[in-house]
A and B are shown apart, each in its own frame.
Chain A
Amino acid sequence: MSPSRVAAIALRIVRQIARDRRTLALIFVVPAVVMALVGASFPESAGSGVLSYLAPALLAAMALFFAFILTGVSFLRERTQGTLERLMASPVRQEEVVLGYLFGFSLFALVQSFVVLLFTIYVLDINYSGALWQIIVFQVIVTLGSVNLGIFVSTYARNEFQVTQFIPLVIMPQLFLSGVLWPVAQMPRYLQWASDFLPLTYAVRGLREVMLEGRGLKDVPLELGVLLAFAVSMSALGAATLRRG
């Protein structure tokens, strides 16, 4: 394992994305727009209670969603343009590639999470209890998992269209079944059971505990543990399937 090779790969990715104005704009503006739309579309009568209940879930969902799409498409491009293969002909090891990509994409995913977070807190004026750093810990772990999910999924896609086809497969069920929109407890038994297997369920639950109930990280060990396990297993999967396609 060579830290300088990992750093070279991470820096390269940051540079590539930073050069692309439109992608940059997409990364930073779209999450804020989505949050604003959600905020504006809620009826006054629902009160700020619903929105504050929704905010932690949206934070988690967006971290998952954007990092996944961004990684999936970028990684696919590396595959189709031959740059990944070119890299695999060098002394680089697979773990170094995965780590490099991870750090590179995580930087943007994190900045994106901050945008969403600040927007929720200051523009939508949503009250939350709990410390900011605890929210960030959650966001980082979700991002790590979803970056690797993107790498993994890109091995099964031949082109950009196919990557987007994974959205209904990977993202939509999680949006509906993980308690983002309505409580898991209100769903039929078998769907509740299904939700136990979705990482977003744990992110939503943990973030709600932290943001709404003012709990600390030590109060949500199950949620953190499952998310970490998800991130680690996805990293292993990403590394194992790197050469394919």
Chain B
Amino acid sequence: MRARVKEGNLDTGKKAAAVEVGRLAVSFGHFRALDGLDLRIPAGLSFGLLGPNGAGKTTLIRTLAGLLKPQSGQVRVLGQPPSPQVARNIGYMPQLPALYLELSALENVSFFAQVYGLIQGKARRAAMEEVLRLVGLWERRGDPVLRLSGGMRQRLSLACALVHRPKLLFLDEPTVGLDPELRSTFWEYFHDLTHQGATLVISSHTMDDASRCDELAFLRAGRVIAQGTPEELIRAVGKIGASLEDAFLYFARRREEESVTQ
């Protein structure tokens, strides 16, 4: 059924995959958070993971980042299983900012730059200035994180994920808590990144984010229930004026009917 949505999308099929996941199962104790999840994310796109609370978006991203061990199934990021070597080319922004509160914004960014191998002082300084200007924190770079607002911490967390110019970015709800102006700025930058060849995997609840993605996967109860471009997904509903929200509900209902008839 997922294939039917993908049919019209021939050119993404040709592109190399940045992420490939097959029959992925991840459990917490007896609870299956991901339950036979299949997903292929083509390189060079902004790819949205959309789904309600508890759908498994964060679990999927943490698994792709190598933080959770799959129970079963296949995981390939940039063609390899997750490892410290692949991590070099990956940026990760957790759902909750994981920053060093006593350190300044600049020290946080600098730390992550070093950890990701930006050792040379000059290159590091240039990269740090670029990302801190992007998130609008250059003027506040000397402030300890403790003195930054929630949204500013979110922005700093993004800066830390971007500083080493990764090829593949996992962003777990990067736009939550941002004002509309900043959200637009972020999306412009995200599109710049994909034009430069980077792949962005972005989880979100909001239809605003979803509509800006090149391609989307709907997640529900640990599975992908549909994948395609926003237009394709909306078209599948078969109603004029349908929204992405309608599309999600349409696929969720179809999934339910399928499981009843089985």
A residues apposed to B, CB below 8 Å: 2, 4-5, 8-9, 12, 15-16, 19-20, 81-83, 85-93
Contact = CB atoms under 8 A, between A and B. Distances in A.
* Band of interface residues on B: 20 to 34
B98 A86 contact: yes
B103 A16 contact: yes
Interface of B: 62, 65-67, 84-85, 87-88, 90, 92, 94, 96, 98-103, 107, 111-112, 114-117, 119, 144
Contacts of A93: 84
Contacts of A81: 98, 101
Contact of B87 (A9, A19, A90): A90
B46 to A, nearest CB: 20
Chief secondary structure at chain A's binding surface: helix
B99 A8 contact: no
A15 B106 CA distance: 13
Contacts of A15: 102-103, 107
Given A4-B119, A85-B94, A91 B100 contact: no
Contacts of B98: 81-83, 85-86
B155 to A, nearest CB: 16
28 contacts: A2-B117, A4-B119, A5-B114, A8-B114, A9-B115, A12-B100, A12-B107, A12-B111, A16-B102, A16-B103, A20-B102, A81-B98, A81-B101, A82-B96, A86-B92, A86-B98, A87-B115, A88-B66, A89-B65, A89-B87, A89-B92, A89-B94, A90-B92, A90-B115, A91-B84, A91-B85, A91-B87, A91-B115
Contacts of A2: 117
Nearest to A83: B98
